[in-house]
Chain A
Amino acid sequence: MTVSATLHDDDGLLAQRIRSGDRIALGEVYDLHASAAMAVALRIVADREGAEDLVHDTFVAIWQKIDRFDPARGSLRSWILTIVRNRAIDRLRGTRPSIEIGQADERSMLTSGPNPTWDDALAHLGADQLRSALDELPAEQRQAIELAYFGGRTYREIATLTGVPLGTANGRLRLALARLRQLLQQSDAAPIGVRAGDDR
């Protein structure tokens, strides 16, 4: 079981403690998620010192804006990693932060609530299994989603970079996510509710 599975139930309590001004709680959250945040930041900016600055700034933002976190929308871990990813992409682009922290979780805008597939799968699958799922994607789809997520490229930029029409670049992103979801549903390690054949 991954760290996120162990912690998801505690997210609300940890957030509540941070909200009440408990710096020890922030330290606990840091101890649990900083290495994952560091991995994301380093992968994107490819500079250790810059990555450390991003992780530092992300956790300071968590401290300042914890009241924006809603555990009903997703895990604390995914909120943190989304924030560090967005900040890293902003740094890569040399732009000011483009996404407000309160919007870091796009699921807040859905009327139907979040689909638990990804969080649940992430809670039950290790990095090796996730990499295996990614490896099963066609190379051009994997390249497209990595350019988007880690490279901060828009699908228009991906189309230019890879020399394909806009519709193809967008389609690769769409198909890649659909395929990944299918692969996760087929995984033996996936929890009940996201296996193939389960209704959503």
Chain B
Amino acid sequence: MSDEMTCSQVDELAGAFALGALDAEEQAALRAHLISCDQPHLEVRDALGAGMLLAESLDPVTPPPALRDRLMATVERTRQEHRPTVPGSPLAARRSWLDWLSPGAARPLALAAAIALVAVGVWNLSLQSQLGQRDAALRAVANAISGGDVAFRVDGSAGRGYVVDTPGEGAAFVVADLADLPADRLYELWLIDASGAPEAVGTFNATDDVVAVVRVERDLTGYATFAVTVEAERVSAPSSSPVMISDLKALQPT
């Protein structure tokens, strides 16, 4: 068959094409024709997707639970091809803040932010300067297996990291792979108590740094949730749903 196909040849091979039953040369020629042809090629259109019928006619086969664990472990260390972005407008959020805080709606995110309690190294360096904060936070995370303080895993669409707390000495949010933001937006940090009342505890702008370190204006004791939203300016009540969240319940008094 020549490199170029006619419309009738394409239609003739519609079934084989739809089922992946062309050789590489024919398949390439047919693809090239479809891309350049302005005819609707209804026979091809009707045939494509038919293979799904064969796939769906099979009885499902449940994979072993270990396969899911293996997948999630792989994904944990696998970067996506694109860089995540965060919706810029709070008005674009599909759910209200209260929706996210209600137990049913908040549960998936709370699970997503499942506490990763890790012991961290001594958190006693000065938070007076950006460099000091950064050094201290990075050291704390780097020493995460040897100290007595705690860090909570923070997860969400905008990035991932830890919020690190040493009661009496303040807290910091360490975040990696932070998503881009429009120039007129900033990230705002929140601590939320068990009743759902949010308290603003800092803002920061998007950064190109691989790891960003942000001071949290309160320590975490007594709060149930740490969250990050996207806002136009620092506000006293969040206007959009969280883009990152962490469950702090382990710090609640028992």
A interface residue numbers (CB < 8 A to B): 2, 4, 17, 19-24, 26-27, 30-31, 34-36, 38-40, 42-43, 51-52, 55-56, 59-60, 63-67, 74, 78, 81-82, 85-86, 89, 98, 103, 106-107, 109-115, 117-119, 121-122, 127, 130-131, 133-134, 145-146, 148-150, 152-156, 158, 170, 173-178, 180-181, 184
Could you tell me if B55 and A67 are in contact, using CB atoms closer than 8 angstroms? no
B138 an interface residue at 8 Å Cβ cutoff? Answer: no
Name A106's closest neighbour in chain B (CB-CB). B48
B interface residue numbers (CB < 8 A to A): 12-24, 31, 34-35, 37-42, 44-64, 67-68, 70-72, 74-76, 78-82, 84-86, 108, 111-112, 155-160, 177, 179
Name B46's closest neighbour in chain A (CB-CB). A115
Contacts of B42 in A (CB 8 A): 112, 115
CA distance in complex: A119, B71 (Å): 27
Could you tell me if A64 and B157 are in contact, using CB atoms closer than 8 angstroms? no
CA distance in complex: A112, B60 (Å): 33
Could you tell me if B57 and A130 are in contact, using CB atoms closer than 8 angstroms? yes
Could you tell me if A107 and B80 are in contact, using CB atoms closer than 8 angstroms? no
With contacts A35-B63, A148-B21, A155-B21 taken as known, whether A24 is within 8 angstroms of B111 at the C-beta atoms is yes
Name A41's closest neighbour in chain B (CB-CB). B61
Could you tell me if A64 and B45 are in contact, using CB atoms closer than 8 angstroms? no
Main secondary structure of the interface of A (DSSP, over half): helix
Of B18, B41, B56, which one neighbours A122 at CB under 8 angstroms? B56
Counting chain B CB atoms within 10 Å of each CB, which of A19, A21, A51, A82 scores highest?
Answer: A21
Q: How far is the CB of B26 from chain A (nearest CB, A)?
A: 8
Name B114's closest neighbour in chain A (CB-CB). A24
Q: How far is the CB of A153 from chain B (nearest CB, A)?
A: 6
With contacts A27-B72, A39-B61 taken as known, whether A181 is within 8 angstroms of B46 at the C-beta atoms is yes
Could you tell me if A173 and B51 are in contact, using CB atoms closer than 8 angstroms? no
Could you tell me if A56 and B16 are in contact, using CB atoms closer than 8 angstroms? no
Of A64, A103, A107, which one neighbours B78 at CB under 8 angstroms? A64
Contacts of B46 in A (CB 8 A): 115, 117, 177-178, 181
Of B38, B45, B68, which one neighbours A30 at CB under 8 angstroms? B68
Could you tell me if B19 and A173 are in contact, using CB atoms closer than 8 angstroms? yes
Name B84's closest neighbour in chain A (CB-CB). A21
Additional pairs, 19, CB under 8 Å, beyond known A38-B60, A154-B21 = A22-B112, A26-B71, A36-B58, A42-B61, A52-B63, A81-B56, A82-B52, A89-B20, A110-B34, A110-B44, A112-B42, A117-B46, A127-B58, A130-B57, A134-B53, A148-B19, A148-B20, A174-B14, A177-B14
CA distance in complex: A107, B52 (Å): 13
With contacts A35-B62, A81-B52 taken as known, whether A111 is within 8 angstroms of B40 at the C-beta atoms is yes
Q: How far is the CB of A1 from chain B (nearest CB, A)?
A: 13
Contacts of A156 in B (CB 8 A): 23
Of A36, A59, A89, A174, which one neighbours B15 at CB under 8 angstroms? A174
